Amino acid sequence: MELLQRIQRWYTINCNGDWEHSYGISITNIDNPGWKVNIDLNETCIKNVSFDYPIIERTPTNWVGYSVKEAVFRGSGGPENLTEILIYFLDTFLPAHIDPDCTIELHLPVRGYENRLWLKAEGKMLSESTIEVCNIADTNRFSYEWGTDADLNLFSELGNSLSELGTDYLIGDHVEPYVYQAADNILRTFLVAPVKR
């Protein structure tokens, strides 16, 4: 997977309808010349860590430095070091600091109602792009998301047969989720697993 796709996946995995309104990623240039990258870690599955800003200076234009303060990963570098900063975040920092006890809300497609109904689940982050399903909601309770107001009517139509609905996903499955934005009158965004083929 290309580097920008991997950073996009990190952003996507954290979009849950709330996080993206307050947090995110910024990449800007600085006048040294060079780059500055800030990646918010608040409300993500990254352990609460903090470290100072050592600078690795190879030449006046080839240098990098990293820090984490106040739940923000900060990387800076020379004009040719943007790729190095992003690779450090994805390949070194991220794997070393994923909290194994943290879960992410995930929605699994309901068999027969794909792209209309999703069963709520939880997953553990394995990488910037992959979640492992670790808990699937009990179908006897109201534990679904829906795509549109019309899909919401399915709940009354299905009535007692809701408990018979299921998903093709199992605990332990690995998922590369995407963001779904519901097309109803209330703007809802949630993380969904793709339909299993």
| CA atoms of 117 and 193, how far apart (whole Å) | 12
Residue 1 has pLDDT above 70, yes or no: no
Q: At 142, is the pLDDT very low, low, confident or very high (cuts 50, 70, 90)?
A: low
| CA atoms of 139 and 94, how far apart (whole Å) | 34
E-only strand ranges, 102-153 = 104-109, 117-125, 131-136, 144-146
* Residue-level pLDDT at 40: 97
The mean of the pLDDT values for the chain is: 91
Q: At 31, is the pLDDT very low, low, confident or very high (cuts 50, 70, 90)?
A: very high
Chain-centre distance for alpha carbon 135: 17
Find out whether 110 and 119 touch, Cβ atoms under 8 Å: yes
Q: What whole-number percentage of the chain has pLDDT above 70?
A: 95
> Residue ranges per domain, the chain?
3-97, 104-192
* Residue-level pLDDT at 184: 67
Look at 27-36, 114-123, 149-158, 163-172 and tell me which has the smallest mean pLDDT.
Answer: 149-158
**pLDDT by residue (tens digit) across 55-105?**
999 999 999 999 999 999 999 999 999 999 999 999 999 999 999 999 999
Phi-psi region of 120 (alpha: psi -120 to 50; beta: other; left: phi over 0): beta
Q: Which residue has the tokens 């990449």?
A: 27
Find out whether 23 and 13 touch, Cβ atoms under 8 Å: no
Peptide bond into 33 cis (omega under 30): yes
Select, from the ranges 133-137, 141-145, 159-163, the one with the highest average predicted confidence (pLDDT): 133-137
CA distances, 18 to each of 43, 47, 125, 137 (Å)? 10, 19, 18, 21
- Which residues are 109's β-sheet partners? 118
* Residue-level pLDDT at 95: 95
* Residue-level pLDDT at 4: 94
